[in-house]
Every structure is written in C-alpha cells, then in structure tokens.
Structure 1
Amino acid sequence: MPGSTSSTLFEVRPVSGALGAEVHGVDLAHLTDAGFAELHRLLLEHLVIFVVGQQDLPPAAHVAFGRRFGEVELHPYLPRLDGHPEIVVIDSDNGGKVDIWHTDMTFHTSPPLASILQIVQCPPVGGDTVWTNQYLVYEQLSAPMRDLLDGLTAIHVIRIGNEFTSRAEHPVVRVHPETGRRALYVNRLFTSHIPQLTRNESDALLDHLFDFSEQPQFTCRYRWRSGDVAVWDNRVTQHYAVNDYVGRRLGQRVTVLGDQPAGDPPRWPHYQAVPGQRYWPSRTNAVENY
C-alpha cells in the first residue's frame, strides 16, 4: 500500500498517503532487469512513481524503458519528437495544457497501460501535476453504490473539431489485470454517458462520481524538477495538470499500449427511450444517440 518505503534496490519516499512515491538512485539509461522488476513492483504499489535526476536520459533510452512494459504507441493526434515518433511532445506554448481530470485515451478499445513523462523544462513556480487513486475512490463508495456500478458500462469518446473520431464502451468498474483490485473507471474528459441509464440519470450519476473521485484525500500532487520522470498506471489513476504558471512547461511522453478493460458484465441492456421521449443533454462531449 502507499506509505511503504521498502525497496531492495532504491530509496523510496512516499509523496502522499493515497498514492505516489519518489524513487532515488535509478539510472533509467542503464537499467538492469532487476532494476526494472523493482520499478514495476513499486509502480503497482504506489500507482505513480517519480524517478528523479534523469536529466541525461536520451530519447532512445526513454523509448526503451517504455518497451520494457509493452508495446509503445504512436499517438494519432499529438506532435512527436523529431526522429523519435514514439515520443509525444507536450508543450505549454503549443496547446499542451490539459487542466481537466482524465485518464489517458479511454476512448480506445484498449487504453494505455502506462504513461512515462519526462519534464524537460518547467516554470520556476507552478505547473504541478495531481493524480488520484481510483482504487480508493471505489472502495470508499457505499456498498449499494458499488453494487450498482459493478453492473454498468460507460461510453468514452473523443471529439476532434466537430467529429467524434473514436468511441469505446468499458466497465464503470475495472478489475486491474495484475492486482485483481477494483477501481472506478470514468473521467470528465472522455466519459460521455452510461448507456444502461437515461441520459438525465447518467449525467447525475457521473457528476457525482467525478466530484467524489477528485477529493483531496484520494490524491497526490507533485512539484516537478527538470529531468524528473513520472510513470503512472493508467488503469487505476486519473491526473490533472495544474495551469497556474507563467512561462514554458515542456515534457516528453512515451505511452505503453494496454489491454481491453475487464470488469463484471453489465446486468442491464442499453436503455431505449420511448418513441418521442427527449432529454436535455448536459455533457459537453455527449453523443447524440446511445
């Protein structure tokens, strides 16, 4: 659980009681198999780990580290580093500010397993990132609420301009494939609606879940230093880039492809409105029809 400082190879400093840990004494450019196994274990324990002091990490080593977890993604929408198409460039001077809670790319049928972000340049003040522990969020919901959510799915979409370019349906509660623990799996940026409910019911329930999951007791907040590398488990976290700074914030990210989220099968079919029945949609990313 978060809070442990035990490690066979590295110095580990927890960031908060909910999740997150700094890891010291790592050289990602020359990582041994034993070192990777220990980082993988720490990631499953703390959900997001911050590997400090990696200013000399070459792009090829960044990509190679990502490939230890699995196949890396070529992102279809974001700018990439010249000569290294596996690395996405996140530049605040070029629209790289995502100050809304989200889990990366849940609009895919198989969303990413992990993201590996190095901050190359950060402002002198501000520009922190905040993560949530979605295990804790699920576990602290009431038993009747957990029972309801275990039987629901959610639609996740992305809009590019006026077009919906990708759409996926996932369990509202995801079972982590490595730990077997359950986590809430909806987010403000990409979750459109719960298709087993009416749109009004779905909006009300999702608004409650979003607000509940973003409470401070479920979070850690990290103050970046140039060269720091964050690795987070995209299957069980959300994150938020705090837009409170002046100056440039520049990062380079490798994304590791994941599997199709698994959970309990839905207990109800998709809701079918009575002919002529209409609802007032409130979600800004909502699709027209179920």
Structure 2
Amino acid sequence: MSVSTGTTLDVRPISGALGAEIHGVDLTNLTDELFAELHRLLLRHQVIFVVGQTGLTPEAHVAFGRRFGEVELHPYLPRLEGTPEIVVIDSESGGKVDVWHTDMTFHQSPPIASILHLVKTPSVGGDTMWTNQCLVYEQLSAPIRQLLDGLTAIHVIRIGNEFTSRAEHPVVRTHPETGRRSLYVNRLFTSHIPQLSRNESDALLQYLFEFSEGPQFTCRYRWRAGDVAVWDNRVTQHYAVNDYVEPRRGQRVTILGDHPEGEPPRWEHYQAAPGQRYWPARVNAVENY
C-alpha cells in the first residue's frame, strides 16, 4: 500500500474480525498524508498496531494523539512525570484489567480512541484482545436488533467514596464517521437497561456480554516492546490477558470523546408496580482499570 509521500505501508490483518499490523511508519516523523492513511486504516480495521516504535518520545506520543482530537488529562490514574497527558499502566501497580470493557463508558462523552505504547513486556504472556462490536451487532437476529435499537443502558463507576460517574447511552450506537451500528454495552461499566425490569435487564445483558465475547469477533495481539496500538473506542471492547508474572508497562494517551448517538428509546424507564420493590442493578467498584 503506497501513499503520495513515496513511503510504503505494509499492512497485515491479524484476524478475520478486526485488527491489522502496520509496518513502515515512524510516528515521530508523521506527515499529514501518512496520518490520513493511518486514520483510514483505523476506521477499516478498528484497532491498528504500529510496530517498532522504540524511539517514540512522550512528546511525539502526545502529538500523535492530538491529531485525532483533544487529549485527556485523566483525573485519577497515575500519569507520566513531566507529561500529564500520558497515563502509566504498570502491572506492578495494579494495571491489570482482565475484564472485557470499553474505556470509560460511564462518561457522558466517552473517549473516541486510545493510543497505548508498550515500553516493557514480559517474555511470555501479556497479550491484549479486542472485539468488533459492529460485527457482533450485525450477527444478532433481526428481532433482537430491533429490540436493542430502542433501548438505552446505564453505565456507572465508583472508586471508593470519592469519585462516581453515571451516564445513559444507546444500547446500539451509530459510528459518526462510518455510519455502522455497533453494540455498546460492556461487563465492567454497564449497570442495567432502564426500560426493563431488573430480571429482564440482567438476563439480556448477560446474553449480550457472552455473545459479544465469542472468538469469531476477536483478535489477539502479542506485544513487543515499542509497539503502539490505536483502537476505536466507539466500536470495540478489549481485554488484557492476565497470564504473566514479569513486569509489563504501557503509556496511554486517550482522545476525548463525542456523545454516543443511536435510535431514540422507544419506551419509558421501567416503573415497578405499586407495592413491588425494584432492586437497583449492580454498581461497579473499580479501584484501577
């Protein structure tokens, strides 16, 4: 694959569902043409892995992120000293999240993308997996898709007693750039579907979680030190495989989000009958994700 600069990009898909390795790019010297090509590849593959970026400086990492949009200053995760735009994800300090999730869906405007630079990897293990939530939605039956198109979901996080965030988003969102629909619920942050009773919500969400995690929707990436992953947070979930004991350290830049859009809800929030107690759904307690 060639671009007008004369640079050749070697693009290697890593699964039938999503994901591609990109060779032949230096993110410290990124032209507008190359960035446009990477952006196009991201929309197509949903997660891209730019290999061999051992020389990527924190400043270049942040500059790359700013090409996508405004970079987040995370309110509570540890940051890289001298570069507050970079979050440090260190396995020695609790930085292991072996639960399928989409980043920060508990915000009203969740991030649109994340850029993770692995600077230290274990000799064995420490892979990350992603799922294609567009493909998940498209492979549901028509009656289930029709039901989901008319529902919203509540996403929640609580960290101790100091920080709580809550947002309501469509269960199915429409990508603002590609127009594709994707399932938009996840195990870590989705609490319940407010149009349904507690039992109905729990049963439906459990089915959707399990279906969306099927191997036919996933890719799995074996990291090398210096690799950079960029994923579209609007249409993917990811899972950090916790099968290693040696240190693993990454530096992440997150791009601030848009407001998830989908079909308007077709029903009001569920109201329990008089005398019937409505138990609220679970609320996550997450110290470090």
Deviations 1:3-46 (CA, angstroms, capped at 9, x unpaired): xxx55441100010000000000000000000000000000000
| Amino acid across the alignment from 2:226 | G
Question: Residue 179 of structure 1: SS of its match in structure 2?
Answer: coil
Alignment match, 2:229: 230
Cα 1:7/1:241, change in 2 over 3 Å: farther
Cα distance in structure 1, aligned partners of 2:42 and 2:158? 31
1:264 aligns with 2:272: no
Alignment match, 1:248: 247
Cα distance in structure 2, aligned partners of 1:169 and 1:284? 14
Cα distance in structure 2, aligned partners of 1:209 and 1:161? 28
Kindly indicate whether the alpha-carbon contact (under 8 Å) linking 2:158 and 2:283 is maintained by their aligned counterparts in 1. Answer: no
Cα distance in structure 1, aligned partners of 2:40 and 2:282? 38
Cα distance in structure 2, aligned partners of 1:187 and 1:152? 15
CA deviation after TM superposition for structure 1 residue 67, in Å: 0.1
Structure 1 segments (4+ residues) deviating >6 Å: none
Cα 1:168/1:284, change in 2 over 3 Å: closer
Cα distance in structure 2, aligned partners of 1:244 and 1:201? 34
The TM-score normalised by the length of structure 1 is 0.94
Kindly indicate whether the alpha-carbon contact (under 8 Å) linking 1:200 and 1:279 is maintained by their aligned counterparts in 2. Answer: no
Alignment match, 1:196: 195
Alignment match, 1:106: 105
CA deviation after TM superposition for structure 1 residue 283, in Å: 3.6
Question: Residue 232 of structure 1: SS of its match in structure 2?
Answer: strand
CA deviation after TM superposition for structure 1 residue 285, in Å: 2.9
**Residues paired across the two proteins, number:** 281
CA deviation after TM superposition for structure 1 residue 163, in Å: 6.1
| Amino acid across the alignment from 1:222 | Y
Question: Residue 186 of structure 1: SS of its match in structure 2?
Answer: coil
Kindly indicate whether the alpha-carbon contact (under 8 Å) linking 1:157 and 1:164 is maintained by their aligned counterparts in 2. Answer: no
Kindly indicate whether the alpha-carbon contact (under 8 Å) linking 1:200 and 1:280 is maintained by their aligned counterparts in 2. Answer: no
CA deviation after TM superposition for structure 1 residue 128, in Å: 0.1
Kindly indicate whether the alpha-carbon contact (under 8 Å) linking 1:135 and 1:181 is maintained by their aligned counterparts in 2. Answer: yes
| Amino acid across the alignment from 2:114 | S
The TM-score normalised by the length of structure 2 is 0.95
| Amino acid across the alignment from 2:244 | Y
Cα distance in structure 2, aligned partners of 1:228 and 1:94? 21
Question: Residue 231 of structure 1: SS of its match in structure 2?
Answer: strand
Deviations 1:138-182 (CA, angstroms, capped at 9, x unpaired): 000000000000000000000112566100000000000000000
Kindly indicate whether the alpha-carbon contact (under 8 Å) linking 2:157 and 2:166 is maintained by their aligned counterparts in 1. Answer: yes
Unaligned runs of 5+ in 2: none
Alignment match, 1:39: 38
Alignment match, 1:3: none
Percent of aligned positions with the same letter in both sequences? 81
Question: Residue 157 of structure 2: SS of its match in structure 1?
Answer: strand
